[in-house]
Amino acid sequence: MHIPDNYLSPKTCAVFAATVIPIIGYSAKKIKYEVKNKKETIPLMAIASSLSFLLMMFNIPLPGGTTAHAVGGCLLAVLIGPYEACIAITICLILQALLFGDGGILSLGVNIFNMAFVMPFSGYYIYSFLKKIFNKKGEIIGVAVGSYLSINIAAFLVAIELGIQPLIAKDQFNNPLYNPYPLSITIPAMVGAHIIIGIVESIFTVSVYKIVNKTSFNMENNKKESFMYNPNIKIRRFYKIIGVLILLCPIGLIASGTAWGEWDVAGLAESLKSYNMTQSIPKGIESGISFSALFADYKILNIQDSIGYVLCAVTAIIIFVLLYRVIFRERKVKL
């Protein structure tokens, strides 16, 4: 779901960048009170970015040789709030693009819109709606349905964003300048993949929600309590989940295919052949901007891929922790 550079026209990227800036700004203002008055907010934000980052490292093989991954947008929105989730995933996406080359630099605004705005907020409001309808049972139903639908809504938007490019960005010979695939291909490809991935996203979301929400017995007070009454319980459980994900993240290397729409030039040429499209690589993709990330594709020079994958995960988490401490130093935030 990370749209690379050169697959969208500069105008498309500019529109989405202009759209997400006020969204991010408003979300930052909304969490100002939480950061100032709840000491657990800062570690929870770092945990949220880390959790989303790790989830996106688990590439899942799909029919046709492509891959996709979960995002955790609905999960984070339900557990820490949609505005907090928006900021957490935004910071995650920025780090992925700049340090690991996952997602484009120019297309960062589009990726933030899809994964850091649409997914958390759509998932959260679906969850809230179903929770009201079904009362207690509605929590799990809402989490399951919200996570499943939110990733599919975001995937559908990605399909639209890619699929309209042949209509709005052409050369004088009516050849696409950027993504060459029309809506008739992008929609089935993106939605079809995420109908499957949505199941994984939903299962993971429900599982983590239950683990974090599980009541525990407090020996001192002789009563059951959950993170609603003791946020430290929530944080400790998150730490355990993140530790397990770090150890398991090399599993994401098993899926060797590239996610649909995230090919390099050579990969796009192969993809065009598979669709029996004889056109050449669009000029905008062939001669567009090129950014070389330090740890591109989550690889570290001269280190075995599986070990490098784990080190990239640990590096990202350390950066998140340090970054949030700097941004929200002493919980005195100027927003």
pLDDT of residue 235: 85
The answer to whether 169 touches 178, Cβ cutoff 8 Å, is yes
- Of 6, 33, 292, 2, nearest to 169 by C-alpha is 6
- 24 within 8 A of 90, measured Cβ to Cβ: yes
Burial class (CB in 10 A: 0-12, 13-18, 19+), 220: exposed
The burial class, CB within 10 Å (0-12 / 13-18 / 19+), for 165 is buried
Interior/surface letters 43-70, b for 16+ CB within 10 angstroms, e for the rest = bbbbbbbbbbbbbbbbbbebeeebbbbb
Do residues 285 and 265 lie in contact, with contact meaning Cβ atoms separated by under 8 Å? yes
**pTM, full prediction:** 0.92
The structure tokens listed for 78 are 């339900």
- Between the alpha carbon of residue 99 and those of residues 37, 49, 152, 278, the distances in Å are 32, 15, 27, 35
Task: Determine the CATH number of domain 10-331.
Answer: 1.10.1760.20
The 10s digit of each residue's pLDDT in 113-156 is 999 999 999 999 999 999 999 877 789 999 999 999 999 999 99
What's the distance, Cα to Cα, between the start and end of the chain in Å?
30
69, 254 in Cβ contact below 8 A? no
Q: Which helix (H) or strand (E) holds 224?
A: strand 223-225
In the predicted model, what is the mean pLDDT of residues 217-244? 67
CA distance 74 to 231: 20
Q: Which of residues 260 and 136 earns the better pLDDT score?
A: 260
* Residues in a beta bridge with 67: 61
Mean pLDDT score of the chain, rounded to an integer?
Answer: 90
User: Three-state SS for 289?
Assistant: coil
Which residues fall within 8 angstroms of residue 278, CB to CB, at 6 or more apart? 272
Per-residue confidence band for 271, with pLDDT thresholds at 50, 70 and 90? very high
Average pLDDT over residues 61-85: 92
Does 18 have pLDDT greater than 80? yes
pLDDT band at residue 312 under the 50/70/90 scheme: very high
What is the C-alpha to C-alpha distance for residues 31 and 81, in angstroms, rounded to an integer?
9
Give pLDDT, residue 298: 95
Question: Helix H segments across the chain?
Answer: 10-30, 32-37, 41-55, 73-80, 82-100, 108-111, 119-134, 138-163, 165-168, 183-213, 231-248, 265-274, 283-286, 305-327
The CA distance from 80 to 43, in Å, is 11
Structure confidence at residue 268 (pLDDT): 95
- 158-205 pLDDT per residue, tens: 999 999 999 999 999 899 999 999 999 999 999 999 999 999 999 999
**Domain extents for the chain?**
10-331
Q: Which of 129, 115, 46, 126 is nearest to 86 (CA)?
A: 115
